[in-house]
Copies of this chain bind each other. A is one copy, B any other.
Amino acid sequence: MKKNALWLLLVLMLPAIAYGRKPEKKVTVSSGRKEEDLVTGLPGQPPVNFRHYAGYVDLGPRQKQKALFYWFFEAQHNSSGRPLVLWLNGGPGCSSVAYGAAQELGPFLVRTNGGNLTFNDFSWNKEANMLFLEAPVGVGFSYTNNSVDLGKLGDQVTSEDSLTFLINWFMKFPEFRSNEFYLTGESYAGHYVPQLAEVIYDRNKKVPRDSRINLKGFMIGNAAINEETDMTGLVDYAWSHAIVSDELHSNLHSTCRLEEEQTSNKTIQCIENIKAFSEAYNDIDIYSIYTPVCLSSDSSSSSPRRPKLVVSPSLFTYHDMWDKFPAAGYDPCTEAYTENYFNRKDVQVALHANVTNLPYPYTPCSGVIRRWSEAPSTVLPTIQKLLTGGLRIWIYSGDTDGRVPVTSTRYSIKKMGPKVMLPWRSWFHESQVGGWVETYAGGLTFATVRGAGHQVPVFAPAQSLTLFSHFLSSTPLPSKRF
């Protein structure tokens, strides 16, 4: 069953509504030569010997009013021989620049509230050319000159616009056209990544060989992929990790019939139990259940914190309590630091960002996307189709995330019924267990990352680089301690 009218219930969004009423500003930025996008003099940046580019790619000719913002890091060594990898954060509405690039796996991390960037020893651009995209319009610095577009967002628009972005980006960077290409992402990118892979895959069949995108596979982490199992896993995880009572766990199963296909007709009892469930996470970080929450008064930002993943499971989107969840990382105040950093005018100038002078501040998760009008309840058929089509697909899970927990992903993979090729086993990062891994017939691998929260590279940077490296080379994760 397809889901329509899944609303983002971001109740504190009056500023966004106000922006929507502003008169249209017709500003268009050319998708010029890549040299114009070269980043030099980024405030606080440590010196490096690789190039990075940032700027806009507009979606013309048909949708010239839209432009998507990217930040691209060439690989640290042998850039031309390395794969090209797109990273997408979720939300919907959250920025791959503020999260993926600046907090998780990029070379420059915003780790303090000062202006300095920290060099990340475990940046994924050690292994690949890394492209971070803010999609769809309304996310981060990506924009539209027609605010009507902000009311028509959903999974399909996102994948179509992201494809157009990619086609146009390759016109700027034609030298990467023949490199192996991979998609990666986390959280609600469990929708974006398979969906974008599918439109690339389908397009590749229709266009001449030299127009094809050399897509080889994708990797998604703590990914929302199947609403019913995601929901069941969410509730079971909270119980097995001692966050909710026996009674609430049992009541959720009995009143919400979690294992059944979801409908929008929920009983009052179910809704009450969901409310209680959400409140059970009020006091801790659902994205990393064993780390502290940010309590620093320095971290308060102008806009209220919103969750990184709000749309799925849809049961929860009937209620407005998800936006009460603290959104946190390893240093739980990091998110506020990135918000401060990317709102700096000198930073924006250096990144060629915000050239249209957006009438709202930069926020890690969008403050202007008010609804999400289209999303399927499952992407498992898409994943199945692409596995059959020969793509390499790795699914990973930081096992201390409560939001899209490892139980959800296990239920979802089980639902696909893949044949086990190499059974469940430990994998090692250097001398300690990095997590567990199971390999299935047809190119599917599932790997956990031990002790890592929702944003895996934040909590297990070295392990995540090992995982990424083995995904790219399609080699088994290390099975021995030494």
Contacts and interface: CB of A to CB of B under 8 A. Distances in A.
Contacts of A248: 424
Given A283-B426, A290-B450, A450-B290, A246 B397 contact: no
Contacts of A289: 450
Q: Is the interface of A mostly helix, strand, loop or mixed?
A: mixed
A432 B293 contact: yes
B283 A481 contact: yes
A410 B246 CA distance: 8
A451 B244 CA distance: 15
A406 interface: yes
A283 B428 CA distance: 9
Contact of A290 (B414, B423, B428, B451): B451
Contact of A242 (B246, B432, B448): B448
A236 interface: yes
Given A247-B420, A247-B423, A424-B248, A240 B241 contact: yes
Given A283-B481, A284-B426, A242 B436 contact: yes
A26 B30 CA distance: 96
A284 B481 CA distance: 11
A435 B289 CA distance: 11
Interface in A211-244: 236-237, 240-244
A80 interface: no
Interface in A277-292: 280, 282-284, 289-290, 292
Nearest to A448: B242
A290 B242 contact: no
Interface string A281-320: 0111000011011010000000000000000000000000
B293 A290 contact: no
Contact of A284 (B241, B433, B438): B433
Interface string A256-268: 0000000000000
A399 interface: yes
B406 A242 contact: yes
Contacts of A357: none
Nearest to A435: B242
A431 interface: yes
A438 B399 CA distance: 25
B284 A423 contact: no
A423 B241 contact: no
A245 interface: yes
Interface string A428-454: 100111011010000000001011000
Contacts of A290: 290, 400, 450-451
Of A242, A248, A400, which is in contact with the most chain B CB atoms at under 10 Å from its CB? A242
A115 B420 CA distance: 52
Contacts of A438: 245
A334 interface: no
Most chain B beta-carbon neighbours within 10 Å: one of A236, A245, A289: A245
B247 A432 contact: no
Nearest to A241: B399
Contacts of A144: none
A407 interface: yes
Contacts of A410: 242, 246
Nearest to A406: B242
Nearest to A397: B242
A170 to B, nearest CB: 38
Given A289-B450, A290-B451, 13 more contacts: A237-B240, A240-B240, A240-B241, A241-B399, A241-B406, A242-B399, A242-B406, A242-B435, A245-B424, A245-B438, A247-B420, A247-B423, A248-B424
Interface of A: 236-237, 240-248, 280, 282-284, 289-290, 292-293, 295, 397, 399-400, 406-407, 410, 414, 420, 423-424, 426, 428, 431-433, 435-436, 438, 448, 450-451, 481
> 4 closest A-B pairs (Cβ-Cβ)?
A245-B424, A240-B240, A290-B451, A283-B426
30 contacts: A236-B240, A237-B240, A240-B240, A240-B407, A241-B241, A241-B406, A242-B397, A242-B399, A242-B406, A242-B410, A242-B436, A242-B448, A243-B436, A245-B424, A246-B410, A246-B414, A247-B420, A247-B423, A280-B424, A283-B426, A283-B428, A283-B481, A284-B426, A284-B433, A284-B450, A290-B290, A290-B450, A290-B451, A292-B431, A292-B432
